[in-house]
């Protein structure tokens, strides 16, 4: 058992050493091992073929020799055996004996076959060793021609070795040549290694190396595509950080300005100015708080991506979202209506509760912010082609058609509303990102029900729920 464990450890060490080699050296080692295995298989095959062919030839010679002895009426004779002598393939033992001297069963004199009725070949272990024997009865005589089997085996080995000599000579030369060719053809990989070793960590430019192996080109192409995506993401991140810094700087500058004005203003002597500055300060603070909140939502959407999806009751999330926004509705005196398709049962969506809540809160919050005081908001929920549709209509000014796509970008807000509505320009970006996680869709258009905007959300219904 210990020996088996030691052998396994040795194999693991050899395997580890093998994989520590370069690719060209590994291929050369593999070719050497393959060549040795092939040499062994060829040697075994050559030996078996040589033994079979030599057996046929020598057996035929023994038959011809028996024919000759029979035709020339050879006199009685017995062969002699010298155990010290090294016999070769040309040496045979010839015995011509009377049948009366032979046994009917068993060996006579330790090597002579019993009386036979017909000619035959046989392998027999005798006092002289393992013999291949040809027996032919001729009248009152019996001719026996025999040869040591080890002689035939030695002949077959010699023939097989002669067949393998060219292979033994050319294989090392071929392995050396293949090793050189492998190193030559894998040279582009060495160039690739040099490119990576001298490449700066921030360099995301395209990798260009001439004469790359066909098998490597797809991987390099995918790597270049990856660099493009990383560069794009990097640019987007830099733009996002710049925009976020700009958006944060605006309310901070306003806060600083209003604080300075408040410090210079006598609270009791100019209460109107003081209150105006205080209101502006509060508005700037709300804007900055809103921006920070939206930034945190964007950051947490990566966490939503790894949460396990469940069957979410859309109407339940909608009720909870409306409840959260109830103070804003009351403050603006909004008229809020929900129209649910009569035949629609409880609509389930395969998603996470937080994702659906984030989508609905942002869409409803936008509708409330951009609708006028005492305005109208209509929410319609329906089922269409196995999709759950939620439409949010408002009575605001709407968005011009040429700006519908632009407002979905980060930090983009319409000039017409910037002075009247506190916002960060991130709400629709958050919605788009959240919808991408659950394979949903958002379409913005002019409302056919009210005077403002229609935000149409499309969710895939959970058919198995």
- Tell me the three state secondary structure of residue 315: helix
Q: Decide if pLDDT at 379 tops 60.
A: yes
- Residues whose CB is less than 8 angstroms from the CB of residue 347 and which lie 6 or more positions away in sequence, other chains included: 313, 314, 315, 381, 383, 388, 459, 461
How is the chain split into domains, by residue range? 71-152, 198-306, 308-465
Assigned token pair, 413? 């807000």
pLDDT at 143: 93
Q: Is the dihedral of CA 290, 291, 292, 293 positive or negative?
A: positive
List b or e across 91-116, with b for residues whose CB sees 16 or more CB atoms inside 10 angstroms: ebbbbbbeeeebeeeeeeeebbbeeb
DSSP string, 119-162: -EEEEEEETTEEEEEEEEEETTEEEEEEEEHHHHHHHHHHHHHH
pLDDT digits (tens, 9 = 90+) for 76-99: 888 999 989 998 888 999 999 999
The strands making up 120-126's β-sheet, listed across from edge to edge, are 93-98, 141-148, 129-138, 120-126
User: Which pLDDT value is given to residue 37?
Assistant: 87
Q: What is the mean pLDDT of residues 114-131?
A: 93
Q: What angle do CA 448, 454, 459 make, to 5 degrees?
A: 120
CATH topology of domain 198-306: Helix Hairpins (1.10.287)
Tokens read off for 11: 């194999």
- Phi and psi at residue 392, in whole multiples of 5°? -115, 110
Q: How many helices (H) and strands (E) does the chain have?
A: 10, 11
* pLDDT tens digits, 440-459: 888 888 888 888 889 899 98
More confident residue, 299 or 417: 299
Among the listed residues 444, 436, 278, 288, the one whose alpha carbon sits nearest the alpha carbon of residue 367:
444
* Architecture of the 308-465 domain: 2-Layer Sandwich (3.30)
Lowest mean pLDDT segment, chosen from 156-160, 212-216, 297-301, 315-319: 297-301
The answer to whether 198-306 and 308-465 have equal CATH topology is: no
Q: For residue 321, what are the contacts with CB-CB under 8 A and spacing of at least 6?
A: 357, 360, 361, 364
pLDDT tens digits for range 36-65: 888 888 888 888 988 888 889 999 999 999
Q: Contact, 426 vs 291, CB < 8 A?
A: yes
Q: Higher-confidence residue: 269 or 444?
A: 444
Are 182 and 25 in contact by the 8 Å Cβ rule? The answer is no
Contacts of 40 (CB under 8 A, 6+ apart): none
In contact, 454 and 447? CB cutoff 8 Å: yes
461 secondary structure, DSSP code: B
Distance between CA 248 and CA 170 in Å, rounded?
77
Residue with tokens 């976020």: 244
Cα distance between residue 187 and residue 189, in whole Å: 5
Say which range, 115-124, 173-182, 407-416, has the weakest mean pLDDT. 407-416
């Amino acid at each position: 058992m210990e020996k088996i464990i030691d052998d396994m450890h040795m194999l693991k060490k050899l395997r580890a050493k093998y994989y520590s080699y370069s690719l060209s050296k590994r291929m050369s080692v593999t070719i050497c091992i393959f060549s040795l295995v092939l040499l062994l298989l060829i040697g075994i095959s050559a030996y078996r073929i040589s033994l079979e062919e030599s057996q046929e030839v020598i057996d035929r010679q023994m038959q011809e020799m028996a024919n000759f002895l029979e035709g020339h009426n050879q006199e009685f004779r017995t062969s002699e055996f010298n155990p010290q002598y090294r016999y070769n393939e040309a040496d045979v033992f010839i015995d011509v004996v009377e049948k009366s001297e032979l046994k009917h069963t068993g060996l006579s004199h330790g090597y002579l076959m019993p009386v036979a009725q017909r000619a035959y070949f046989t392998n027999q272990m005798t006092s002289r060793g393992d013999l291949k024997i040809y027996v032919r009865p001729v009248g009152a005589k019996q001719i026996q021609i025999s040869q040591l089997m080890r002689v035939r085996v030695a002949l077959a080995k010699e023939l097989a070795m002669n067949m393998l000599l060219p292979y033994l000579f050319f294989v090392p030369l071929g392995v050396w040549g293949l090793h050189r060719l492998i190193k030559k053809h894998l040279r582009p990989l060495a160039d690739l290694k040099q490119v990576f070793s001298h490449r700066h960590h921030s360099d995301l430019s395209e990798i260009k190396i001439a004469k790359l192996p066909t098998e490597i080109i797809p991987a390099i192409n995918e790597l270049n595509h990856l660099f493009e995506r990383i560069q794009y993401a990097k640019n987007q991140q830099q733009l996002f950080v710049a925009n976020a810094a700009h958006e944060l700087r605006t309310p901070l500058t306003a806060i600083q300005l209003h604080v300075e004005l408040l410090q210079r203003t006598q609270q009791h002597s100019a209460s109107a100015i003081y209150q105006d500055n205080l209101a502006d300060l509060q508005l700037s603070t709300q804007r900055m708080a809103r921006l920070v909140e939206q930034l945190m939502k964007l950051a947490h959407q990566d966490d939503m991506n790894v949460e396990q999806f469940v069957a979410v009751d859309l109407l339940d999330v909608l009720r909870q979202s409306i409840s959260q926004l109830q103070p804003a509705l009351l403050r603006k005196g909004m008229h809020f209506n929900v129209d649910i398709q009569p035949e629609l049962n409880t609509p389930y969506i395969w998603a996470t509760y937080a994702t659906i809540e984030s989508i609905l809160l942002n869409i409803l919050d936008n509708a409330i912010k951009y609708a006028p005081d005492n305005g109208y908001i209509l929410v319609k929920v329906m089922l269409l082609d196995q999709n759950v549709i939620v439409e949010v209509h408002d009575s605001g000014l709407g968005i011009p058609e040429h700006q519908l796509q632009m407002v979905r970008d980060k930090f983009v807000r319409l000039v017409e509303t910037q002075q009247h509505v506190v916002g960060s320009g991130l709400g629709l970006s958050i919605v788009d990102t959240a919808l991408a996680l659950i394979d949903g869709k958002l379409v913005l258009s002019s409302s056919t029900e009210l005077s403002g905007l229609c935000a149409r959300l499309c969710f895939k219904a959970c058919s198995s729920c």
